[in-house]
Structure 1
Amino acid sequence: MAKLYFIGAGPGDPELITLKGKRLISEADVIIYAGSLVNPEILKYGKEGAAIYNSATMNLDEVLQVEIEALKAGKKVARVHTGDPAIYGAIQEQMDGLRAAGIPDEDFEVVPGVSSFLATAAALKQEYTLPGISQTVIITRMEGRTPVPPKEKLSLLAAHQATMCIFLSVHAIEKVMETLKEGGYPGDTPVAIVARATWPDQRIFRGTIDTIADILHKAGVVRQAMIVVGKVLDTDYDLSKLYDSKFTTMFRKGTDEK
């Protein structure tokens, strides 16, 4: 049956793809993968004889052409993206392109994956939402070739001082840190950076807004790294009410319950 699947392949570790994603890749007649980021080990899940395309060397029209021709030929297509395709995955333009070509929605499907910002939390052994410290996670990026809407400028988001996960920005680490300070984060706010989370060569760097740029430059990290900023990285916090012995839930009665 002809169908296209946009599959989140996870952050790097080939075992962090979902069971569904792995199965669909193994069944696909055509595999189009984002070769600049997707671990090539993922391709080993494909069946013998599957046509494989590296979208890193293709433009949008070329990708759509392969997808549409394969669907019209009755083939199953695995369009493999890194992490979760809903975050900086550039799948919306592909889905809209398919619709414009007359491909109905029932002929394509999105399969979620593990995003790198979640893999980063796992590498850091860190919860992003600590009671009394932060209950909000901001996922964003520094403005680059892709512009950022004026109301989403990093300095404005920094005013919340929530936990912030910053994609695609490590190459401009000084500017990122300067902008965060301009927005209200104190210079001693903890910062953690995970380069190539879950890959065999994963590296972790810790510092503050004032110190992390120098640390990163000495390490030579300029891409494929997640920046995490916030007090959750190094502070005391309130314990969760979920497991508080005094707190009553729908599953148990608290010790303070009369």
Structure 2
Amino acid sequence: MSVHFVGGGPGAADLLTVRATRLLAAADVVLYPGTYLDPAVLEHCGPKARLVDTQHLDLDQITAELVAAARAGEQVVRLTSGDPSLYSALHEQTRRLDAAGVGWQVTPGVPAYAAAAALVGRELTVPEVAQSVVLTRTRARSTSMGAGESLTAFAATGATLVLHLAITRVRELMAELADVVGADCPVVVVHRASQPEELVLRGSVGSIADLVEDAGLRQAALILVGRALADDAAAGESFLYSPARHRA
């Protein structure tokens, strides 16, 4: 008995890994997040697969589906959006599967932030500008944040920020960041990267909230903040590729 947690990537059907497509093709049961996943991804499933949209199910109901299918000897895939290592409730689900005596494995996927960066053609770690990336979210009607995980503390490091699950609070969050990174700091918002409805908004800490509200974005969008996103970033060059570096 085994459940496969599979990263469904950012949405495009051709951005799944080869392993992911093979698992989907062989699956008898596939649970998927209908809110975030492009339906085209499900075209990798076999014609007889039973498809379960989890957007209206709670964690215990999802687990019950996984356990029942695994105990029936069926091949089970639990699709996640992006990569299972980020905001996928992997820990909660696998803990329940362990308690039920059901095995599980994880197949990574292309994370949404990587697809967003690719779409806008930006490296998030630019020499002498930013060498770190912070993947985080904010708290509204969601799980509490850990002690010390404040947005302004992360911003003060100069790292490129990638904010998940935060689009409905963009104005409030930009107001928090303005005093730390400056109102002119570049911001890019990417809605449904790689999917047919994809949308890119480019602005600054001071202007992006108006753009988001005008576009009516309420979900499935990432907010990227940082000087590395600037078109004219005064970047240095990587020592890794420098002609001055000794190569044995």
Structure 2 CA distance for aligned equivalents of residues 21 and 36 of structure 1: 20
**Structure 1 counterpart of 2:161, which letter?**
M
Computed over aligned residues only, the root mean square deviation of the Cα atoms, in angstroms, reads 1.2
Matched, 1:216 2:212: yes
Identity of aligned residues (%): 33
Give TM-score, length-normalised by structure 2. 0.95
Equivalent pairs counted in the alignment come to 245
- 1:253 aligns with none
Matched, 1:136 2:132: yes
The one of 215, 225, 236 aligned to 2:221? 225
Matched, 1:50 2:49: yes
Asked if structure 1 preserves the Cα contact closer than 8 Å seen for 2:11 and 2:41, the reply is: no
- 1:34 aligns with 33
**Structure 1 counterpart of 2:130, which letter?**
S
**Structure 1 counterpart of 2:224, which letter?**
V
Give runs of aligned pairs for residues 179-198 of structure 1, distance below 5 A. Answer: 179-182=176-179, 184-198=180-194
Structure 2 CA distance for aligned equivalents of residues 201 and 72 of structure 1: 38
- 1:124 aligns with 120
**Structure 1 counterpart of 2:166, which letter?**
S
Structure 1 CA distance for aligned equivalents of residues 170 and 22 of structure 2: 39
Structure 2 CA distance for aligned equivalents of residues 26 and 151 of structure 1: 43
Structure 1 CA distance for aligned equivalents of residues 86 and 76 of structure 2: 21
**Structure 2 counterpart of 1:238, which letter?**
G
SS, match of residue 152 in structure 1: coil
Which has the greater radius of gyration? 1
Give TM-score, length-normalised by structure 1. 0.91
Give runs of aligned pairs for residues 1-258 of structure 1, distance below 5 A. Answer: 2-103=1-102, 107-146=103-142, 147-182=144-179, 184-234=180-230, 235-250=233-248
Q: Residue 38 of structure 1: CA displacement?
A: 1.3
Structure 1 CA distance for aligned equivalents of residues 148 and 193 of structure 2: 30
SS, match of residue 133 in structure 1: coil
SS, match of residue 140 in structure 1: strand
Q: Residue 161 of structure 1: CA displacement?
A: 2.1
Structure 2 CA distance for aligned equivalents of residues 249 and 99 of structure 1: 48
Structure 1 CA distance for aligned equivalents of residues 247 and 125 of structure 2: 20
What are structure 2's unaligned runs of at least 5 residues? none
Q: Residue 20 of structure 1: CA displacement?
A: 0.2
Q: Residue 181 of structure 1: CA displacement?
A: 2.3
Structure 1 CA distance for aligned equivalents of residues 10 and 164 of structure 2: 13
**Structure 2 counterpart of 1:236, which letter?**
A
Structure 2 CA distance for aligned equivalents of residues 97 and 190 of structure 1: 42
